Amino acid sequence: MSPESQLLQYLISGLTLGSIYALIAIGLVVTFNITGIFNLALGEFVTLGALVSIALYAAGLPLIAAFALAVLIAAALGAVMERTAIHPARKANATILTLVIITIGVGIAIRGASLLIWGTHPYILPPFSEHAPFTVAGAVVIPQSLWVLGLAVVCVAALFAFFEFTYLGKAVRACVMNRTAARLVGINPQRLSLAAFTATGALGALAGIFVAPITFATYDMGFMLGLKAFVAAILGGVTNVPGAIIGGFLLGILEAFGVGLVGSGLKDGLAMIVMILVMLIRPTGILGAFRRGA
Amino acid sequence: MGPSGAEHNNFPGDEVELVLRNKNVILIVLIAALFAVFPLMVTSGYYLGILVIVGFYSIVAIGLGLLLGYAGQVSFGQAAFYGLGAYAAAILSGTYGWPPLLALAAAPLLPAAVAAVIGQPILKLKEHFLVLATLGFGILVYILMKEFVDLTGGPSGYTGIPYLSIGGLVLSTDKQFFYLVWFLAFLTLVGAWNLVNSRMGRALRAIHGSEPAAEAAGIDTARLKLKVFILSAFLAGLAGGLYAFYISFISPSPFGFHASIQFVLMAVVGGAATIWGPVVGAFVIVGLIEFLRWAVPVVLPKAGGEFEIIFFGLILVLALLFRPEGIMSHKRRKQRSEPDAGKEAAGTCST
Amino acid sequence: MLDVRDLTKNFGGLVAVNRASFSVNAGEILAVIGPNGAGKTTIFNLITGMLTPDEGEIRFQGRPLAGLKPHQIARLGISRTFQNLELFRAMTVAENVMVGAYTKGKTGFVRAILRRPGTTAGDRKRYGEALELLRAVNMAEYADEPAESLPFGLQRLLEIARALAAGPQLVLLDEPAAGLNAGESQALVAFLRRLREQNLTFVLVEHDMATVMDVADRIVVLNFGSVIAEGTPAEIRSNPEVIRAYLGEDES
């Protein structure tokens, strides 16, 4: 492989990784904007999406039906999480810190449950399309990567359309800006919080389904993915959806090249270093100026 | 106004003397005696071994309790400090041939130094960011332990840790470690008690009550929080060093994220804002883990791995839900009713 | 004693304090008044280092305070109270006062852990001093009650006692009479006067005009962050600009 195609190869795997991070990061940022907290359990919904759909598929369901059901289950679990853990804590005037730690607790509980159900083995989901990997300018492209990239594009477009063109979407944006104003126009922030956890649970599961054919699915696959999505979100300035997407791709590419340079073992460490550095040096995100322009 | 009229006010520090006088002393002596004779009574190495581990965890949890309950800061990376202490003790004595006792004494200094360096910027962060920064730090250290194979032995672990010896006495049995670790845990407890019941302890509780008011009283809040953070890292490192000599083989796996969660749980379950609460928490959590490792395979024969985390998660959520003020709440010992209206008039300024 | 020169602070385009200048003389009680949002509390926060000025200078006994952190400024001898009570609610009344005297103590972190000789003696001395101070405000009987159990008026008083505990030279009082009844306000005024005779200097922000006119030696009037008048209570009372600011004429 020529050096150019080597670089291209890194770029392609970076974009694939990055679109996964971006997808989950969208869920994180949307929940954060609506509820004021990061759902640090979101990564576990990614795991659930992957493992539940694999289990349903193995049980004989058609692939599409398995996917749909897995997403529904994750959405329902998101709703249950909001009602049983987040909502009561909020009602009792819990601090943000307490709420964040609660989401960590929920995440660990889900991970433990996944471990009990599925054990530590890796599971495989067949790729969505049965094409063989092809090469572009000497770099290998796995068709599944295109699916992931495509999903990211579709999700972003759908979110954009929702927030820009629907009444509900505009109302949600109003609620993000001002809770009292939202009440005045008849939006209940509590219902919105429920909706946010439900929707992002589904989104997380969807990301898990799309990524499973590439990486194998294990009970602990979501933890690191969720953390890296947070890194993407903070790179993009925490409250900024376009920023989070760009942050996701940046992190993916950084990691892909990082693996080429320092080896795969330190890849996860790289993301943690980026996270800590960004929080310390530029808490508004490296794309912080992005939002002001928008 | 004369100096009389306030005899009923006992100076809080007099509790020291009170402890020696009142019934508490009997309780303390009883507990101490129980600990002293326990190793002589148990025949099962299993229970003794567990109590040694509880001792290590207690030391970590006391430090974390000070950080959570008194300095009002959170750390989801405490296992990293525990691990740094363990690896420092192992590598100094094993690779560099330091006398084990010297290596054990030096081990806590590594995590304390690391805490001093990272603490300054990290403790400025709030809420999500403090949680994630400490969590990220913990994961980073864990990855480094796995990746610096030449130094740490990597995922397969570090072997060749010599026996700990004090004077001519070689510590090799559970019984010996039991006495050593619980002696140190007791010292830690006393030190923490001293700290909390001092000018510094009042300053810490003041930060908790109102940071602006604490600053306005001349307290360097950032520096004080940093000191507690360093102290908590030091204690975690001390426990880690002891653990390394006790277990004589270490690998990165006990120092990961789940261990950090476990430490937070210990501090929270027993009550972070009390000194002995974290010790109780260490007993409860270790007891729970051991029970689950016994009980779950009976129900689910296929279960493997660290499935106890499911209960960690549930306990964490429940603990926070039922103490909604948060884990950093500062419950006072005494709950008092509002003073009656008659007293109110007495409080106006004298002229 | 305290010189404020051309002090300016913006909050995102909104001018909270606009080139404000005034001085505080040693041993006087200076009241800072003005309509809501005139920038009074902001000035306190600037003096005590909780906010950083955009422009201008603050000097305390000739020494510029720029760049000092709140706890460093406190150590120079400036104490303050807070408008929205910032008591250490879970601590006892005496402990609140003892924290106020934090800078008098010497016991450091490590000494405290090791409980070196003298730490307990130092604590006992602080406790005695706290009781003495509490007696002066007739609150000694509450010394070992948690601060949060006090009625509101006493909480205000405790804030003042805590501010005095450090033995400051200058005390900034942010609406000390808010929420007090007439009798309590009068007692407060008398108390402040007595302290002034012991050579303490006060700056107070206050809404209650009766209290201000009663206690202040001089008054500084702020409106929209600027000083619009300065003088004795009598002068201020007859100042047409002040009257206009308060009655809201010509404002839009």
Residues of chain C with CATH 3.40.50.300: 1-77+168-252
Higher per-residue confidence, B149 vs C36 = B149
pLDDT of residue B294: 85
Distance of CA C143 to the CA centre of its chain: 22
List of domains in chain A: 3-285 (1.10.3470)
Q: Find the mean pLDDT for residues C222-247.
A: 84
> Token pair of B183, please?
């002696």
Task: Indicate the pLDDT class of residue A78, thresholds 50, 70 and 90.
Answer: very high
Chain C residues lying within 8 Å of B212, measured CB to CB: 50, 70, 82, 86
d(CA B266, nearest CA chain C) in Å: 22
Q: Which of A182-186, A288-292, B38-42, C40-44 has the lowest mean pLDDT?
A: A288-292
> B217 by DSSP, 3-state: which?
coil
The closest CB to that of B309, out of A111, A263, A269, belongs to A111
> B27-34 long-range CB contacts below 8 Å, 24 or more apart?
B32/B186
Average pLDDT, chain A: 84
Q: For chain B, what are the domain ranges?
A: 39-327
Nearest Cα residue in chain B from C96: B206
> Token pair of A55, please?
């289990």
Contact check, Cβ <8 Å, A275/B312: no
- Give chain B's residues under pLDDT 50: 1-9, 13, 16-21, 324-351
Cβ–Cβ < 8 Å for A134, A141: yes
Considering A174-178, B237-241, B303-307, C164-168, the range whose residues carry the highest mean pLDDT is B237-241
CA distance B114 to A51: 39
Q: What is the pLDDT of residues A216-239, one digit of tens each?
A: 899 989 999 999 999 999 888 887
> Token pair of B300, please?
């689910």
Cβ density class B162-197: b for 16+ within 10 Å, e for less: bebeeeeeebeebbbbbbbbbebbbebbebbbbbbb
pLDDT of residue A202: 93
Cβ–Cβ < 8 Å for B208, B328: yes
**Whether pLDDT at A179 is above 70:** no
Cβ–Cβ < 8 Å for C60, C76: yes
Phi/psi at C81 (nearest 5 deg)? -115, 170
Cα dihedral: A227, A233, A234, A235 (round 10) = 110
> Token pair of A217, please?
């699915």
Chain C residues lying within 8 Å of B195, measured CB to CB: 109, 112-113
Contact check, Cβ <8 Å, B321/A110: no
Q: Which chains touch A (3 or more CB pairs under 8 A)?
A: B
CA distance A293 to B6: 65
CA distance B308 to B314: 10
d(CA A273, nearest CA chain B) in Å: 7
The closest CB to that of B212, out of C86, C89, C139, belongs to C86
Contact check, Cβ <8 Å, B5/C135: yes
> A58 by DSSP, 3-state: which?
helix
Please count the residue pairs, one from chain A and one from chain B, whose beta carbons lie less than 8 angstroms apart. 149
CA distance B51 to B34: 13
The closest CB to that of B310, out of A98, A113, A119, belongs to A113
C181: left (phi over 0), alpha (psi -120 to 50) or beta: beta
C-alpha separations of B160 from A10, B89, B108, B166, B247 in Å = 41, 12, 20, 19, 11
Q: Flag whether residue B210 sits within 8 Å of chain C, measured between CB atoms.
A: yes
Task: Indicate the pLDDT class of residue A180, thresholds 50, 70 and 90.
Answer: low
Q: Which of A134-138, C181-185, C197-201 has the lowest mean pLDDT?
A: A134-138
Closest CA to B51 of B234, B178, B176, B228: B178
Contact check, Cβ <8 Å, B147/A111: no
Cβ–Cβ < 8 Å for B61, B263: yes
Query: What value of ipTM does the predicted structure carry?
Result: 0.89
Percent of chain C with pLDDT over 90: 44
Q: Which fold, B39-327?
A: ABC transporter involved in vitamin B12 uptake, BtuC (1.10.3470)
Closest CA to B282 of B271, B297, B293: B271
pLDDT of residue A83: 93
Chain A residues lying within 8 Å of B147, measured CB to CB: 263, 265-266, 269
Looking at this protein, which amino acid is placed at residue C94? A
Please count the residue pairs, one from chain B and one from chain C, whose beta carbons lie less than 8 angstroms apart. 192
Q: Find the mean pLDDT for residues A24-52.
A: 90
**Whether pLDDT at A10 is above 90:** no
Chain B residues lying within 8 Å of A230, measured CB to CB: 132
What does the DSSP 8-state code read for residue B169? E
Task: Indicate the pLDDT class of residue C247, thresholds 50, 70 and 90.
Answer: low
Q: Do chains A and C touch (3 or more CB pairs under 8 A)?
A: no
pLDDT of residue B326: 42
- Residue of B309, B322, B325 for testing the chain A interface, max A β-carbons within 10 Å: B309
pLDDT of residue B183: 92
The closest CB to that of A106, out of B132, B143, B317, belongs to B317
Task: Indicate the pLDDT class of residue A181, thresholds 50, 70 and 90.
Answer: low
**Whether pLDDT at A285 is above 70:** no
Task: Indicate the pLDDT class of residue C218, thresholds 50, 70 and 90.
Answer: very high
Classify residue B96 as exposed, middle or buried by CB count within 10 Å of its CB (0-12, 13-18, 19+). Answer: exposed
CA distance B174 to B177: 5
Within chain B, residue ranges assigned H as helices are: 15-21, 24-41, 45-65, 78-94, 100-106, 109-122, 127-147, 149-152, 174-196, 199-209, 211-216, 221-247, 257-270, 277-299, 309-322, 341-346
Chain A residues lying within 8 Å of B134, measured CB to CB: none
Cβ–Cβ < 8 Å for A94, B328: no
CATH of C1-77+168-252, one of 3.40.50.300, 3.40.50.1820, 3.10.310.10, 3.40.640.10: 3.40.50.300
Which secondary-structure segment (H or E) carries A110?
helix A96-118
> Token pair of A256, please?
């892909």
**What is chain C written as a DSSP string?**
-EEEEEEEEEETTEEEEEEEEEEE-TT-EEEEE-STTSSHHHHHHHHTTSS--SEEEEEETTEE-TT--HHHHHHTTEEE--SS----TTSBHHHHHHHHTGGG----HHHHHHT-TTHHHHHHHHHHHHHHHHHHTT-GGGTTSBGGGS-HHHHHHHHHHHHHHT--SEEEEESTTTT--HHHHHHHHHHHHHHHHTT-EEEEE-S-HHHHHHH-SEEEEEETTEEEEEE-HHHHHT-HHHHHHHHTTT--
Closest CA to C44 of C13, C75, C2, C105: C2
- Residue of A279, A282, A284 for testing the chain B interface, max B β-carbons within 10 Å: A279
- Any residues with CB less than 8 A from the CB of C76 and at least 6 apart, and which? C60, C61, C63, C65, C68
Cβ within 8 Å of C, B 229-248: 231
Looking at this protein, which amino acid is placed at residue C226? S
**What is A233-277 written as a DSSP string?**
HHHTTSS-HHHHHHHHHHHHHHHHHHHHHH-GGGHHHHHHHHHHH
Q: What is the pLDDT of residues A110-145, one digit of tens each?
A: 999 999 888 888 898 877 777 777 777 777 788 888
Phi/psi at C20 (nearest 5 deg)? -85, 135
Phi/psi at C77 (nearest 5 deg)? 115, 25
